[in-house]
Amino acid sequence: MNRTTLIYADYGKLADQMSGSDSVASKAAKLELEVAAHAAAAPGQNAARVQAAKALVDVAKSNRPRLVRAHALRLIGFVGGKAEAGAIAGLAKHPEIGQDAKIAIKRIQSAK
Amino acid sequence: MSNPAKSGIGFPTYVPQSAFGANDRIVYGHIGVGGMGSSHIVADSCAALCDVDANHLANAAKRVQGKPMLTDDYRRVLDRKDIDAVTIGTPDHWHAIMAVHACMAGKDVYSEKPVCKTIEEGLAMVNAARRYKRIMQIGAQGRSNPKVAAAANYLRNGQAGTIKKVVIWHPENLSSGSGFEAPSTPPPHMNWDMWLGPIPYRPYTAETCHFHFRWMMDSGAGFIRDRGNHAISCVMLLTGQDAWSSPVTVKATGKTNPNRIYDAPQSLNVTWKFRNPEWTLEWNQPGEANERLEGEWGATYYGTKDDLILTGGDGGADTEPKAIDYVPPAGGFKHEVEPDKVDVTEKHRRNWRKCIKTRELPVSDIGIQYKTIILPIIANIAYTVGRELTFDPKTNRFINDEEANRFLSDPYREPWSLKGY
């Protein structure tokens, strides 16, 4: 898998692909989101990290399917900072993805 | 029927004769009684059986004398003051929580491998066992295997010189093929919410539940942590590195099967580089067996004077005649296993039971096994982030990688917590 860093719009496109009914394409998009997010969170990649975090917050707040939004929240836990924790705090009471939001916030807060 | 209490499965009162007092009888509760967990049942001294699958419970209950309490909630087992010890044979994501809570409740613990999912969990297990003075044996029963002991005696007494490299071979995860099962309503005998417990919600599919949970990162994380717990436990015993304490560098590459739901890498190659002393460990999945002694999985130990093969390393193992025939010198290293003529897993359980009575550390104590499980855990993290990492076992953190350190713990779904229940 190519570990290049994506731009903001790519995250949305991949989230759409993950939302589709083609299971193979959906899984590929899920993994590509994961690869991109972790590449953006690597040491020294602050600009990419900020872009990834913003894009993933927007995916988490979108009307995409539950598992797509939950996946975005999981990745926010790794790339996000205080700003993203604040941005997703409102999702903590969401009936479907509230637990995923809380987990992401706890992970961000665990960072030293 | 998600709750056996509401489904006709009774909760008969069972009062055991004695918790190991005058007659030295240990009273057990068994948590997770499908698969390997079912093998740990002590039929004549079982006060409680717990499983989130009512079919598992019903099958286990048929094997037990008397009428044990049946429940799908392990907390009800821990609440029982008459139970001295518990076995835990659940999927991986429950091991640490249950083991820690069991220690808090004053129970001795036999928990299946792999030890745990995260560094935080492993540390919590060690701390709980020590703080509450509990015996915690991990089901990495290679340490009770006479063939493993023979190989350890050969290598630890220097017959191969200094070990510089160990290469493990192992087949790919059992996640091949194609097709995605559509999510469905959990079957009526399954409490799916309790099965998930601390991990994030995912819809029920049979292909991610019993046994196959191993191929999902949240609940299993592949053979590297599953069989890897056995394999690496043997490596650390045979090389004398149970107490390794210098930073280790880890690099991992792998591939998932694009045509199945599973997200643990089906193929995986890992290299760990240790310091003080310098040596290298490799995990090759798939890898090639050494033609001198073939087996489904195993490891070749390369020393400065000789090399040695150990195949397997759980209940089954084999090694070369030079190790089997080797007699350790007086005063030399000798790894002891239980002498009873029973199968290896039973030897391992007997070691645990003996230690419950003597209060000595068991052969596969949580302290040793925590140091073992660090290695597959950090390998999976290196695979996931896609870069080489260095982990310091003194601080239990990665060096200079803030993101990797966010994997040290996996926050739980509410209400689950390592702090108690």
**Which residues are CB-contacts of A44 (< 8 A; sequence separation ≥ 6)?**
none
The nearest alpha carbon in chain A to B388 belongs to A42
User: Is A27 in contact with B258 (Cβ distance < 8 A)?
Assistant: yes
Inform me whether the pLDDT recorded for B46 exceeds 80. Answer: yes
| B199 at A interface, C-beta within 8 A | no
Task: Give the span between the Cα atoms of B198 and A10, in whole angstroms.
Answer: 32
CA distance B182 to chain A (A): 10
SS3 B24: coil
pLDDT score recorded for residue B8: 29
pLDDT score recorded for residue A6: 86
User: Is B200 in contact with A24 (Cβ distance < 8 A)?
Assistant: no
pLDDT score recorded for residue B19: 43
Mean pLDDT score, B358-373: 98
pLDDT score recorded for residue B224: 98
| A50 at B interface, C-beta within 8 A | no
pLDDT score recorded for residue A3: 59
Inform me whether the pLDDT recorded for B411 exceeds 60. Answer: yes
Mean pLDDT score, B34-62: 97
Going by the DSSP 8-state scheme, the letter that residue A94 receives in this structure is: -
CB nearest to B406's CB, from A28, A67, A78: A78
Mean pLDDT score, B147-168: 98
Could you read off the pLDDT of B220-267 as tens digits, one per residue?
A: 999 999 999 999 999 999 999 999 999 999 999 999 999 999 999 999
Q: Are B398 and A54 in contact (CB under 8 A)?
A: no
Percentage above 70 pLDDT, chain B: 95
Inform me whether the pLDDT recorded for A2 exceeds 90. Answer: no
Query: Read out DSSP for B40-84?
Result: G--TTSEEEEE-SBHHHHHHHHHTSSS--EEES-HHHHHH-TT--
Reported as a pLDDT band with limits 50, 70 and 90, residue B12 is: very low
Amino acid at B407: F
Residue A111: list chain B partners with CB under 8 A: 402, 405-406
To the nearest whole number, what is the mean pLDDT of chain B?
94
Inform me whether the pLDDT recorded for B3 exceeds 50. Answer: no
Could you read off the pLDDT of B281-330 as tens digits, one per residue?
A: 999 999 999 899 999 999 999 999 999 999 999 999 999 999 999 999 99
Rg (CA), chain A: 13
Higher pLDDT, B12 or A41: A41
Mean pLDDT score, B71-95: 98
Q: Which of B205, B218, B385, B414 to mutate to test the interface with A (most CBs of A within 10 A)?
A: B385
The strand ranges marked E within B313-405 are: 317-319, 389-392, 397-398
CA distance A96 to chain B (A): 9
**Sign (positive/negative) of CA torsion B288, B289, B290, B292?**
negative
User: Strands across the sheet with B267-274, in order?
Assistant: B317-319, B307-312, B298-303, B163-169, B279-285, B267-274, B248-255, B389-392, B397-398
Residue B203: list chain A partners with CB under 8 A: 67
Mean pLDDT score, B191-211: 97
Inform me whether the pLDDT recorded for B401 exceeds 70. Answer: yes
| A53 at B interface, C-beta within 8 A | no
The nearest alpha carbon in chain B to A36 belongs to B385
Stretch 202-221 of chain B: residues touching chain A, C-beta under 8 Å: 202-203
pTM of this structure: 0.94
Residue A110: list chain B partners with CB under 8 A: 406, 408-409, 411
Inform me whether the pLDDT recorded for B201 exceeds 70. Answer: yes
Angle at B285 between CA B284 and CA B290, to 5 degrees: 55
Q: Which of A22, A66, A110 to mutate to test the interface with B (most CBs of B within 10 A)?
A: A110
pLDDT score recorded for residue B14: 31
pLDDT score recorded for residue A4: 62
| B177 at A interface, C-beta within 8 A | no
| B333 at A interface, C-beta within 8 A | no
Residue A27: list chain B partners with CB under 8 A: 180, 258, 261
CA distance B403 to chain A (A): 6
Q: What is the largest CA-CA distance in chain B?
A: 65
CB nearest to A103's CB, from B256, B387, B411: B411
User: Is B409 in contact with A28 (Cβ distance < 8 A)?
Assistant: no
| B181 at A interface, C-beta within 8 A | no
Query: Read out DSSP for B259-271?
Result: TSS--S-SEEEEE
**Sign (positive/negative) of CA torsion B383, B388, B392, B397?**
negative
CB nearest to B200's CB, from A42, A99, A112: A99
The tokens for B421 are 């229940």
| B82 at A interface, C-beta within 8 A | no
User: Is A42 in contact with B385 (Cβ distance < 8 A)?
Assistant: yes
Reported as a pLDDT band with limits 50, 70 and 90, residue B95 is: very high
CA distance A63 to chain B (A): 18
Inform me whether the pLDDT recorded for A112 exceeds 90. Answer: no
| A99 at B interface, C-beta within 8 A | yes
The nearest alpha carbon in chain B to A44 belongs to B401
| B405 at A interface, C-beta within 8 A | yes
| A25 at B interface, C-beta within 8 A | no
| A31 at B interface, C-beta within 8 A | yes
SS3 B405: helix
Inform me whether the pLDDT recorded for B180 exceeds 90. Answer: yes
Inform me whether the pLDDT recorded for B24 exceeds 90. Answer: no
Mean pLDDT score, A2-21: 88
Could you read off the pLDDT of B107-120 as tens digits, one per residue?
A: 999 999 999 999 99
CA distance A112 to chain B (A): 8
Could you read off the pLDDT of A33-89 as tens digits, one per residue?
A: 999 999 999 999 999 999 999 999 999 999 999 999 999 999 999 999 999 999 999
Could you tell me how far CA B336 lies from the centroid of its own chain? 21
Closest CA to B319 of B158, B154, B160, B91: B154
CB nearest to B414's CB, from A31, A43, A99: A99
| A9 at B interface, C-beta within 8 A | no
